[in-house]
Chains A and B, each alone.
Chain A
Amino acid sequence: MKRFITGNHAVAEAARLCRPQIVAAYPITPQTPIYEKLSDWDAAGELGGTMMRVESEHSAMAVCLSASLAGARTFTATASQGLALMHEMLHFAAGCRTAVVMAVVNRTLAAPWAFWSDQTDSLSQRDTGWLQIYCENNQESLDTTIQAFRIAEEIKLPIMVVLEGNFISHFMEPVEIPEQHMVDGFLPAVCLPRRFDVDNPGYAIPTVTQQQFRKYRKLSQEAMEHSLEVIEQVDTEFAAHFGRSYGLVEAVDCEDAELVILTTATITSTARVALAELRAEGLKVGLFKLRIFRPFPTAAIRAVLDKAPRIAVIERNISLGREGIFCSEVKAALINSSGHPRIQGYLAGIGGSDVNPKLIKRIAHHALETDMVQDGPLWMAEDE
């Protein structure tokens, strides 16, 4: 059934359709409508499972990771300050190989206070051992949430489904909401190891030696690498069930491109419009959408961009003292490329400021016309 709904509503629908046994959450703008929707359904007896209205995001993650270790399907959602408060628990949830699924609604981190989309909150959790998938629109947010449970429960690593505040969380779009039986057919009942078995007692997460710690980390890294295959396989199966798929990355008009614009999340959808206009101008421009951030799909990126002459990374986040985080990662992925692409980072949309087709076209022209690549980022804004 197609309905005109917000991205938050779409994510909540997806979570409910996946029959989580434990939902633990705490309110924060712009995530709150997910929490409220799930609470409404819980009150109406339509959610199933246990809903915990905890006293902090830190405890939300503590509840989810413990319940996941006990073998339950778990879901939470947060943003910004809430995600930062969870930081210690994020490492913990990944380190003990849980399958927690969390929607992260991107929002600026204070200070200063603001409420708009900025990806630095989720990207600064890069090294916690969570998978991260960035969504372009409401439909993809719903679909990715459903996929996330399959992926997390198969590889036993937690996943963030990342959607941008306001642009996805609060904007309304037509979204296809699958029938319950369709989701049940795609996502079987939870089958995680139950770590707390009174008939076979074991001690989870004891203190280990240096060597054992190293082995744990290596196993997690192997699981991360393997998860790329799982993500693709789940996406393919999802396509067979629901007729939609997204891939690890998406390349549009990249074959003959002299310049590839690389984007994530909602800037991608705007860039699609800009791309059509740039092509109409006769410019050989392509678009590359990065969807999976952790694990980083290096091979999928290299397969398309190894020989791209120029790449312009446009992004809504910054690692202060360096540059946009996606840009650094893409540069690192292409460092051994035979074609030595020239990569320029453009910061656009920081703090949730508008990135419209005109701005993207301005960036494309700049990238095509400038022969000197700067190591640092270029700040671009529609009002400058």
Chain B
Amino acid sequence: MMKMKTRPVEVLRRGHMACPGCGLSLGMRMVLRAMGPKMVGVVVPSCVAVTSGPFPYTALGVPAFHSAFEIAAPTAAGIAAALKEQGKEDIPVLAFAGDGGTFDIGLQSLSGAADRNENFIYVCMDNEAYMNTGIQVSSATPRYTWTGTSPTGNPRRKKQIMEIMAAHRMPYAATASIAFPEDLTRKIQKAKAMRGTRFIHMLSPCTTGWKIGEDMAVKVAMLSVETNVFPLYEIENGLSYTITYSSRNLPVEKYLMAQGRYQHLQPDQIQAIQAETDRAWVDLQGRAAKRKEEL
């Protein structure tokens, strides 16, 4: 007999303030749906807060706090600790922050909270630049990428946030993509069942900043995974790596050329990105293999 599936409860409501076709708001919707309505949300200045809506409207169907830019992690930690004191430890706290709020200005407070293993889930919605202030370069912006403050292409490479988080030996860290909703949902639900600091890194295609069509966010997210630019994996206790999706190893050019922000790239730059991606992919596979040996 076929199992009846109930329609999931949508926690992110209609009428949110994101741009049409926004990859980030789709990611928020998937994360919140996987969490369910019994949770407390933290948002900080970023497109996440824009999506959440201005007073008196809110797209978030859960109690939530619009905190300050660089304190998503200690905000979540403070609420979680207060809920514990009130005997409500069963209510999970989940913080959303952008890449700027995570890789840059919020890195210290996130590191502090992860080091103390505070009890919350942290979801970094990485659109690879400061987007709601109008597309400025961040340390999550990949090499050669156009932004408003790297008009000839970003000279620096993207900061490896997953390696930084893994170095905290935190219980759980995973990458997730809106193009792979089952994988995303499983990871959120796995994180929800755990305690301590849990980190989700989600690549969130931005129609405006990446110069892609309103119907392209999911496709570009899919290409980021299939080209190994953004592999899907998880890290337990900072050491055990598991690749959760075997990609089709497509050339990075397919991913890059789908986006307006890379149209200026020269062939040698594309080659350099390919080489860097291959190196990182081999490295990741090595880490995952090491884990298999140990098992």
Are B79 and A22 neighbours in the complex by a CB distance under 8 Å? no
Q: Which residue from chain A places its CB closest to the CB of B38 in the assembled complex? A: A198
Are B67 and A203 neighbours in the complex by a CB distance under 8 Å? no
Contacts A66-B74, A89-B68: A52 and B86 contacting too (C-beta < 8 A)?
Answer: no
Query: How extensive is the interface on chain B, given as a class?
Result: 35 or more
B15 interface hit (Cβ, 8 Å): no
B60 interface hit (Cβ, 8 Å): yes
B75 interface hit (Cβ, 8 Å): yes
B289 interface hit (Cβ, 8 Å): no
CB-contact partner of A201 in B53, B62, B75, B83, under 8 A: B62
Contacts A50-B81, A53-B116, A55-B112: A202 and B86 contacting too (C-beta < 8 A)?
Answer: no
- Which residues 49-81 of B sit at the A interface, judged by CB distance below 8 A? 49, 52-56, 58, 60-68, 70-71, 73-79, 81
Q: When chains A and B are docked, how far (Å) is the Cα of A88 from the Cα of B106?
A: 14
Are A195 and B63 neighbours in the complex by a CB distance under 8 Å? yes
Are B63 and A201 neighbours in the complex by a CB distance under 8 Å? yes
Give the interface SS of chain B, mostly helix, strand, loop or mixed: mixed
Contacts A56-B109, A197-B63: A50 and B58 contacting too (C-beta < 8 A)?
Answer: no
B179 interface hit (Cβ, 8 Å): no
Q: When chains A and B are docked, how far (Å) is the Cα of A205 from the Cα of B63?
A: 11
Interfacial chain B residues near A24, Cβ < 8 Å: 74, 78
Q: Which residue from chain B places its CB closest to the CB of A207 in the assembled complex? A: B54
B164 interface hit (Cβ, 8 Å): no
| Tally of chain A residues near chain B (CB < 8 A) | 42
Interfacial chain A residues near B108, Cβ < 8 Å: 55-56, 59
Q: Which residue from chain B places its CB closest to the CB of A26 in the assembled complex? A: B112
Q: When chains A and B are docked, how far (Å) is the Cα of A308 from the Cα of B292?
A: 84
Q: Which residues of A contact B (CB under 8 A)?
A: 21-22, 24, 49-50, 52-56, 58-59, 62-72, 88-89, 92, 194-198, 200-209, 212
Identify the 6 closest CB pairs spanning chains A and B, nearest first.
Answer: A55-B112, A66-B78, A70-B82, A62-B71, A63-B78, A72-B82
Q: Which residues of B contact A (CB under 8 A)?
A: 37-40, 42, 49, 52-56, 58, 60-68, 70-71, 73-79, 81-86, 91, 108-109, 111-113, 115-116, 118
Interface CB pairs A-B, < 8 A, 15: A54-B116, A59-B109, A59-B112, A62-B75, A62-B78, A66-B76, A88-B68, A196-B83, A202-B63, A203-B65, A204-B66, A205-B67, A207-B66, A208-B54, A212-B55
